[in-house]
Structure formats: C-alpha cells, structure tokens
Amino acid sequence: KQHPTLPRDFSKVILTLDNVLIPEDKLSPTPSLQDGLDSETEMDLRIIGCELIQTAGILLKLPQVAMATGQVLFQRFYYSKSFVKHNMEVVAMACINLASKIEESPRRLRDVINVFHHIKQLKYQKVIHPLVLDQNYINTKNQVIKSERRVLKELGFCVHVKHPHKIIVMFLQVLECEKNAKLVQCA
Amino acid sequence: MTSRRDGLEQNYEEIAVIGNGAYGTVYKARDLKNDGQFVAMKRIRIQNTEEGMPMSAIREIALLKQLENYEHPNVVRLLDVRHTDHTASEIRLMLVFEYVDQDLSTYLEGCPPPGLGPDRIRNILVTSQGTLKVADFGLARVYGFQMALTSVVVTLWYRAPEVILQAAYATPVDIWSCGCIFVELFNRRPLFCGQSDIDQLSKIFDILGLPPEDDWPENVSLPWNSFKAVPPQPLEQFVPEIDNDAKDLLEKLICFNPHRRLSAQEAMNHSYFRDDLDSLRTSSSLSVSEGESFETDGRSDTPSKHGGS
C-alpha cells in the first residue's frame, strides 16, 4: 500500500511496476510518438517485442520470471528511447540477455541470437537453417552488447523488478483458493 | 527513471584523490549542480566480456540502487551512476556517493592505537556527527576479478572460517565480521591477522580452539585433522578491556559453527545492547533492579562499555 502501482496489460501478462513508477508526462507522448511513430504501431511493436522475449525465453528454457523481467525492461526502455532510433529486435535480445543475468540464469549471447534467428525463420515459414557465424553474426552480437549497455544506462541500473505474481498467489492462499489451480496458474 | 548522458563530467569537479585501490580510484569532488557539496566519486573498471556486462556487476550495482529505496541512515547514499567512456575491453563507470570525511580506522586513530598498520577498514565510515555509515558492500564482488591479482589481506582478517574453507555460506559470515570489528573497537587493532588462508584459520583456532569434528563443514578440501588440536583460550586474554556482557556477545558472534552463530536480530536483543539502551534511558549507568532482571553471570562494574569510542 505504500507503493503506488501501475498495472499495465500486455502479452497476456499483467505487470505492475513497483519500484519505478513512470510519471504521466513520460507515458505520453512517448519518445517514439515524438519521432513521428503512430501510437498503434508503437503498441504493436511493444506487443511483438514482449512476445519475442516470451517465446525466446521458452526456447532458452529460462524461468518465467526472467521473461517477465525482460519484458519490463523492454517496456521501460521504450519510455526513454524511441523505436525509430533503436531496433526493436536488438533491444529485445539485449533485454532477455540482461534479464537472464539479473535472474541468475545467464544464457550465452550466442544462444540468444540463435533463438531469435530460429523464431524469425519460423515466423516467415522458411526452411530452418542454422545460424551462420559470419560477419553479420558478429555485428548483431556487438549491437546487442551495445544495446544492453544502453538499457542499463537508460534505466540507471534500476533493473530489479518486483513481479506481482507471487503476491497474487499469496492473496489466493489467504482467500483459501490455492487449490484452484486455474487461478494460481493465471497468476 | 533517470537518464544519464555522456560528457557531463563538468557536473563534478575533482578535488583530491582519497584512495587508490585495486578496484580503481576514489576522488573527493564537488557536485557543481548541488551547491558544490562534497561527494566521493569512485571510478570503476568493468571488464567487457564476450557476453556483455558481467552478471556480478549488473547484480551488485542494481542492488546498490535497490538499497537506495530504503534510505537507511547507516548506509552511504549512492547519488549517481555515470557511464563515462568505454573501450572494447572495458567499461568505465563512475559511482557518485555521499562524502563522509573519515573511515573507522582514522576515527579510532583519534586515540593512539598500539601499532595499527597501514591496512585499515575502509568501508565503515564515520561522519563528523559520529554516525556510522557502511559503504561498498557488494562491490567487492564487482572488483573481485581484479582483487585476486593483488594481496588484499585486509578483508581476509574479517572473513568467516566457512568462507575460507570454501564451504556453503550465508549471512552468518557478516556476523563473524561484526565480531572481529567489535574486538577492534576495544583493542584498536585487528584480532585475527592471518597472512594466508591457512594462516588465518590457524590464527582463529589459536584463540577459539580447534572446533569439534562434528562442527567441521562437509565437503571441504581441507580436512579437520590437518590442524593441530588446540584448546580454546579465554577471550579476555586477547581483549583485556572486555566485560562479561561484551565477552558473552563476542563469543556468540565469532562462533565457529555458522548455525550456532547469533543472527543480527538475536545480537540486537543481546543484553549487552539492552543494558546500553536502558542506561541511556535512565541516564544512570547501572541500576540495581536492572542488573537483577538478567540472568547474567556476575556483571562487571566497568562503566564504559565502548572501549575508546
């Protein structure tokens, strides 16, 4: 109750920003809107980015908390920087890489890039080819490393995220509904 | 959410170098944006790995930022994190902390110490009002990769035996360190000054005695019988100014078995502190009724419990 919370809906996960509350004037207009992006496209990019993080996280066998953290970082970053200037896919990779470290389940950057490559091929229904470790790969990798640093910088290292999921489960226990598997799973 | 940009170094004006360590350099500086108040700037270098920013650096700096939310009066404020420049191999960060004029060692030097060496406790600071402030916790891990290269003996002296033995460890290690510093407040010099890991353990056992084999942690490479069986020595022999309450507390703080060591909460409830608070409240150093309310064994009449401070 001391912490005001701001629930937001995306990617079928409700996240509450507990430790960093974004002031209203930052929420709108967003940096992307200021760069001339329309709000619908921005919302789409946010949703796609979060879904990418979720899918990649599953393929990387990351705990769900890492995906949730990655998504929060991703969302927060784009309230400070614009989609026009910062490639959504690279930032999404940086966020999941960063989140895997924050949640103490680090994954190799190469695996992250691999998984994103795989998802892309699936999406465009291409024949699945393994990632070629060429100059292109090296460039992507450097971009992700750079992007990770930028995310840390923009968020001022405030990257610990308190997720509401545990609290929901706790409330359910108080309400003696913990046996209701459907509700618990929804949390 | 704050965003920091490069090239704003002119916000801070360096005045003097305060310290130079394996981790980088600490400067005293003026915060030009805030009426020129003093700040401590710590430049740290973080290795840029193949995997981006090292996990330990992220976790520790994020933790420092997290701690800021609590605004604990005894924790040094982290005012700012600045990204200065970076090369392919390392990232340079600048942490801006509130400035505190003296560390605990300088403070204790106020009363001439018997042979206090150049090694000092750098991360416990004392403000001019006498408030203790802790600085730099977790960053030891950030600096860790460089520290291995230099002989940083200071921290070894405060290291709990389970850490030296490379057994599983948790928060009781901090209580051990507290115990070591507690002694230092009496003696104005460290208690266990080992030169190496093994020497450190021997120095500990020389005083505490070799613990029973049952207390020896499991799965450690150093076997229990590699140390000489020595009996425990009475602590007052090493801490002459200690009274019974303080001695009882100390014994429980530097207990070899981390499971039997006091927790921070238990330590706070120890009669040593209780007595101190009550005497402050009643402003009489020893009241009779109070003395009887505890089942302590023959209390000492030493009026000052804080040797030196």
Q: For residues A97 and A87, what is the distance between their CA atoms, to the nearest angstrom?
A: 15
Long-range (24+ apart) CB contacts under 8 A made by B271-275 are: B271/B245, B271/B296, B272/B245, B272/B246, B272/B248, B272/B305, B275/B245, B275/B305
- Confidence band, pLDDT 50/70/90 cuts, at residue A182: low
Tokens of A8: 């937001």
pLDDT at residue A26 is higher than 80: no
In the numeric block, the tokens 């001695």 are attached to B247
The ipTM (two decimal places) reads 0.70
Note the pLDDT tens digit of each residue in A72-114. 999 999 998 999 999 999 999 999 999 999 888 999 999 999 9
CB-nearest to A160 from B1, B62, B81 is B62
Helix or strand holding residue A47 (H, E): helix A39-59
Q: Is B4 on the interface with A (CB under 8 A)?
A: yes
The average pLDDT across B47-51 equals 78
pLDDT at B275: 60
- pTM for the full predicted model: 0.66
pLDDT at residue B291 is higher than 90: no
Q: For residues A111 and B57, what is the distance between their CA atoms, to the nearest angstrom?
A: 21
B65 contacts on A by Cβ (under 8 Å): 156-158, 160
pLDDT at B116: 39
CB-nearest to A109 from B52, B81, B91 is B52
Binding site listing of B for ATP: 42
Note the pLDDT tens digit of each residue in B107-165. 766 654 443 333 445 667 888 777 888 776 545 444 433 333 333 444 788 889 988 88
Q: For residues B58 and B51, what is the distance between their CA atoms, to the nearest angstrom?
A: 12
Q: Do A149 and B86 touch (CB under 8 A)?
A: yes
Task: Give one DSSP letter per residue of B200-241, joined into a string.
Answer: HHHHHHHHH-PPPGGGSPTT-SS-GGGS---PPPPGGGT-TT
Q: Do B62 and A159 touch (CB under 8 A)?
A: yes
Compare all CA atoms of chain A with the CA of B61 and give the residue at the minimum distance.
A157
Q: Where are the alpha helices (DSSP H) in B69-118?
A: 104-109
Task: Give one DSSP letter per residue of B139-172, joined into a string.
Answer: HHHHHHHHHTTS---HHHHT--HHHHTT----TH
pLDDT at A45: 95
Q: Do A153 and B63 touch (CB under 8 A)?
A: no
Tokens of A51: 């879904």
Tokens of A115: 């998984």
A26 contacts on B by Cβ (under 8 Å): 1
Q: Do B59 and A155 touch (CB under 8 A)?
A: no
Helix or strand holding residue B83 (H, E): strand B78-86
Q: For residues B9 and B82, what is the distance between their CA atoms, to the nearest angstrom?
A: 9
B91 contacts on A by Cβ (under 8 Å): 149
Interface of B with A in 90-119 (CB under 8 A): 91
Longest dimension (CA), chain B: 69
Count CB pairs under 8 A between chains A and B: 70
Tokens of B266: 């238990």
- Confidence band, pLDDT 50/70/90 cuts, at residue B276: low
A144 contacts on B by Cβ (under 8 Å): 52
The average pLDDT across B179-197 equals 89
pLDDT at A10: 34
Tokens of A58: 């599953």
pLDDT at B179: 94
Q: Is B170 on the interface with A (CB under 8 A)?
A: no
pLDDT at B151: 36
Residue predicted with more confidence, B104 or B3: B104
Compare all CA atoms of chain B with the CA of A138 and give the residue at the minimum distance.
B50
- Confidence band, pLDDT 50/70/90 cuts, at residue B202: very high
Longest dimension (CA), chain A: 57
Note the pLDDT tens digit of each residue in A115-155. 999 999 999 888 888 888 899 999 999 999 999 989 988 88
Select the residue from A82, A157, A158, A159 to test the B interface by mutation, using most B Cβ atoms within 10 A: A157
Tokens of B232: 């425990």
pLDDT at A108: 94
Q: For residues B277 and B290, what is the distance between their CA atoms, to the nearest angstrom?
A: 11
Q: Do B58 and A160 touch (CB under 8 A)?
A: no
Mean pLDDT, chain B, as a whole number? 74
pLDDT at A21: 59
Interface of A with B in 91-110 (CB under 8 A): 94, 97-98, 101-102, 104, 106, 108-109
Task: Give one DSSP letter per residue of B256-284, joined into a string.
Answer: SSTTTSPPHHHHHTSHHHHHHHHHHHH--
Q: For residues B9 and B39, what is the distance between their CA atoms, to the nearest angstrom?
A: 13
pLDDT at B157: 86
CB-nearest to B53 from A19, A80, A148 is A148
Q: For residues B78 and B127, what is the distance between their CA atoms, to the nearest angstrom?
A: 16
B53 contacts on A by Cβ (under 8 Å): 98, 101, 148-149, 152
- Chain B nearest CA to A170, separation (Å): 23
Torsion angles phi and psi, residue A122, rounded to 5: -60, -45
pLDDT at residue B288 is higher than 80: no
The average pLDDT across B302-306 equals 39
B81 contacts on A by Cβ (under 8 Å): 156-157
- In this structure, the number of other CB atoms found within 10 A of the CB of residue B11 comes to 15
Q: Do A22 and B1 touch (CB under 8 A)?
A: yes
Share of residues in chain B with pLDDT > 70 (%): 71
The average pLDDT across B211-231 equals 89
pLDDT at residue A3 is higher than 90: no
